[in-house]
């Protein structure tokens, strides 16, 4: 069992721990992830707790990045400087908060005490086997090397307890699950908090996307398919689900896209799947070349990525053993693929008639490259917006290449800050501060630019693209990005800075992508004349709130 059933994670460390727990624990165990509590006016956020059948409960505090102890204090590598942390204290406090919450619940009434413990998980750090500290024995620490055996380590931690508390059973896990779910029942009266509204929308979008997955049932006997749909139609969800179903059939599957950010999201998504449902390769198109031994190029050399590397990959594809090629390839954001890339895709298949599943939106063709998939694909069209609120989806629906039905989910009105393009970033920064003061969490927010990158984005990218995209899942940081790299991604709230100079090519495509990245709240900072010239009068009216 898991609580919630489909948790979302903001960083790679938590997702890595989740994947290890799911892989190693059994059906009678309960995994609790990212649970927030408010007790006596104080807020607590629990990373993980596990109820282990026949053992007890362990509360876990996860700390990513490099973590060490200098004899007095725990430290964590952070940008721009290391920071002091209190992981053991956090785990201990969260243990008592969860224990008190459960034992006060009616679901626990009449049950006798069970074993409780707490531990810290350092998934990218190494801790000496002889480590010892008064507040934390080595057995209470799971480091990078221990992660592969985290289940047994947590069971052992409970088993060595010298007290009269009993081991937990499956009924205890059910009661704890009921204690969590039973006290979060939705209230008909009153206004939901920002956090509650976001959680509600998470459920709605996931449910609608799953319902849209029925289209894959209809096409289960077709091996060459192109699914076209506008922004917010659920293409990426369907692409990942298609790869999942194919892998479940025992096929060797590649799930690819162009964008590094989207590929990171897909990798994190499939990491939560059963190992039998995980594709053989998940990543960028160019990453397949590196798997085959192609050289790494500079991000500043566009000709290498556009022309040279695809030609090298085509040659390498012919040298791969058949077993190393793919039974099926699933491509998301396929409109990003150039003509030279498609021969590589076809050569990466084991046989000429193997599966090719393409998901695209011509309206999001923001790069100055042209190409198209093979002509023998069966085309399906998605015409319903699932992701955005109706206020947001109405701003860009007229720009979609295919007529889209506007979402029916209500939300906050779109906010508009009229300004010159030179001042868009400055105004966007002010809006971010305002939203944080209103109660939005940093991880709910993204500031997305259409022109020059935000200074914060430039600073984070100096540490490399991997570190930059890790910040997308950092729950303590607002994300700063550009529309060119944000396709296929979303945030509950997006502040769109239209900071590009007038009359640039593909401005309409960048505006279309930018407007569609917000799920619940959209704030636009830019020149109304630019918006009207690029998107048309209807787009400007919707952004300004006119019917």
Domain ranges of the chain: 2-181, 222-382, 415-544
How far apart CA 405 and CA 285 sit, in angstroms, is 32
Identical fold, 222-382 and 415-544: yes
Least confident of 4-13, 408-417, 535-544: 4-13
pLDDT-derived band at 200 (thresholds 50, 70, 90) equals low
Parallel/antiparallel/unpaired status of strands 491-497 and 518-526: parallel
Reading phi first (left if > 0) and then psi (alpha if -120 to 50, else beta), residue 65 is in: left
Q: What is the pLDDT of residues 144-196, one digit of tens each?
A: 999 999 999 999 999 998 788 999 988 888 888 888 865 444 444 444 566 66
Name the residue with higher pLDDT: 283 or 170. 283
- CA pair distance 168, 53, nearest whole angstrom: 6
Q: Domain spanning 415-544 has what CATH number? A: 3.40.50.300
Averaged pLDDT for residues 137-142? 94
Please choose, from the candidates 154, 151, 333, the residue with its C-alpha nearest in 3D space to the C-alpha of residue 260. Answer: 333
pLDDT tens string 444-460: 999 999 999 999 999 99
> What average pLDDT is seen over the chain?
88
Alpha helices (runs of H) in 253-326, residue ranges in sequence order: 260-270, 285-291, 302-303, 309-317
Banded model confidence at residue 426, pLDDT cuts 50, 70, 90: very high
Give CA separation, 215 vs 225, 400, 433, 467, 508, in Å: 11, 21, 42, 36, 30
Best-predicted range by mean pLDDT (124-128, 217-221, 300-304, 359-363): 124-128
Task: Report the share of the chain in percent with pLDDT over 90.
Answer: 56
Give me the pLDDT at residue 287, please.
94
Q: Is the pLDDT of residue 276 over 80?
A: yes
Read off the pLDDT band of 126 (50, 70, 90): very high
Q: Model confidence over 202-252: pLDDT tens digits?
A: 665 665 566 667 778 777 788 899 988 888 888 888 999 999 999 999 999
Alpha helices in 281-414 (DSSP H): 285-291, 302-303, 309-317, 342-347, 390-396
Residue 399: HSE in the Cβ half-sphere, 13 Å Cα cutoff: 32
Answer whether residue 369 shows pLDDT above 70: no
pLDDT at 194: 67
> What is the average pLDDT across 506-518?
91
Residue 103 has pLDDT above 90, yes or no: no
Q: What is the per-residue pLDDT for 184?
A: 42
Which single residue is written with the structure tokens 């060797």? 252
Of the ranges 9-18, 207-216, 409-418, the best mean pLDDT one: 409-418
Residue of higher predicted confidence among 367 and 493: 493
Q: Are 511 and 476 in contact (CB under 8 A)?
A: no
Percent of the chain with pLDDT over 70: 91
Evaluate whether 119 touches 60 at the Cβ level (below 8 Å). yes
Looking at residue 58, its pLDDT comes to: 97
Least confident of 34-43, 351-360, 512-521: 34-43
Judge whether residue 319 has pLDDT over 90: yes
pLDDT at 188: 41
Closest CA to 492 of 191, 195, 184: 195
CA distance 273 to 283: 16
Indicate the pTM of the whole model: 0.61
Across 408-424, average pLDDT: 91
Residue 264 has pLDDT above 80, yes or no: yes
Please give the pLDDT value at position 203.
Answer: 62
Q: Which CATH class is domain 222-382?
A: alpha beta
Return the pLDDT at 190: 43
């Amino acid at each position: 069992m898991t609580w919630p059933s489909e948790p979302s994670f903001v960083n790679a460390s938590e997702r890595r721990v989740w994947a290890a727990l799911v892989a190693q624990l059994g059906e009678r165990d309960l995994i609790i992830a990212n649970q927030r509590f408010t007790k006596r006016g104080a807020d607590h956020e629990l990373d993980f707790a596990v109820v282990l059948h026949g053992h007890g409960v362990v509360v876990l505090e996860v700390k990513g990045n490099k973590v060490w102890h200098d004899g007095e204090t725990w430290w964590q590598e952070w940008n721009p400087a290391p920071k002091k942390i209190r992981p053991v204290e956090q785990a201990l406090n969260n243990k008592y908060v969860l224990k008190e919450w459960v034992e006060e619940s009616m679901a626990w009434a009449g049950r006798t005490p069970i074993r409780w413990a707490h531990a810290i998980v350092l998934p990218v750090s190494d801790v000496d086997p002889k480590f010892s500290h008064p507040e934390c024995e080595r057995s209470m620490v799971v480091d990078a090397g221990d992660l592969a055996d985290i289940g047994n380590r947590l069971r052992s931690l409970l088993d060595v307890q010298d007290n009269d508390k009993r081991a937990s059973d499956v009924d205890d896990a059910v009661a704890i699950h009921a204690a969590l779910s039973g006290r979060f029942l939705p209230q008909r009266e009153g206004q939901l908090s920002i956090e509650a509204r976001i959680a509600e929308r998470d459920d709605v979008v996931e449910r609608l996307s799953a319902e849209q997955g029925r289209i894959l049932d209809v096409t289960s006997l077709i091996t060459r398919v192109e699914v076209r749909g506008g922004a917010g139609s659920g293409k990426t969800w369907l692409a990942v689900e298609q790869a999942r179903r194919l892998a479940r059939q025992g096929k060797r599957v590649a799930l690819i896209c162009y964008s590094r950010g989207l590929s990171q999201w897909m990798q994190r998504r499939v990491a939560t799947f059963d190992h039998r449902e995980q594709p053989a390769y998940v990543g960028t198109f160019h990453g397949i070349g590196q798997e085959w031994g192609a050289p790494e190029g500079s991000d500043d050399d566009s000709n290498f990525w556009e022309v040279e590397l695809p030609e090298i990959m085509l040659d390498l594809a012919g040298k791969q053993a058949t077993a190393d090629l793919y039974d099926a390839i699933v491509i998301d954001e396929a409109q990003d693929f150039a003509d030279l890339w498609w021969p590589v895709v076809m050569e990466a298949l084991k046989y000429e008639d193997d599966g090719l599943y393409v998901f695209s939106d011509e309206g999001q063709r923001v790069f100055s490259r042209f190409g198209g998939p093979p002509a023998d694909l069966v085309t399906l069209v998605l015409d319903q917006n699932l992701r955005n609120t109706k206020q947001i989806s109405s701003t860009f629906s007229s720009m979609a290449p295919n007529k889209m039905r506007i979402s029916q989910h209500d939300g906050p009105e779109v906010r508009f800050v009229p300004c010159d393009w030179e001042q868009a970033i400055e105004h966007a920064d002010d809006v971010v501060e305002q939203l944080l003061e209103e109660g939005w969490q940093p991880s709910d927010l993204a500031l997305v630019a259409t022109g020059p990158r935000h200074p914060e984005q430039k600073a984070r990218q100096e540490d490399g693209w991997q570190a930059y995209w890790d910040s997308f899942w950092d729950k303590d940081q607002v994300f700063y990005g550009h529309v060119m790299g944000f396709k296929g991604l979303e945030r509950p709230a997006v502040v769109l800075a239209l900071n590009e100079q007038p009359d640039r090519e593909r401005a309409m495509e960048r505006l279309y992508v930018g407007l569609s990245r917000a799920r619940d709240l959209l704030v636009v900072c830019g020149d109304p004349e630019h918006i009207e010239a690029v998107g048309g009068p209807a787009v400007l009216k919707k952004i300004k709130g006119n019917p």
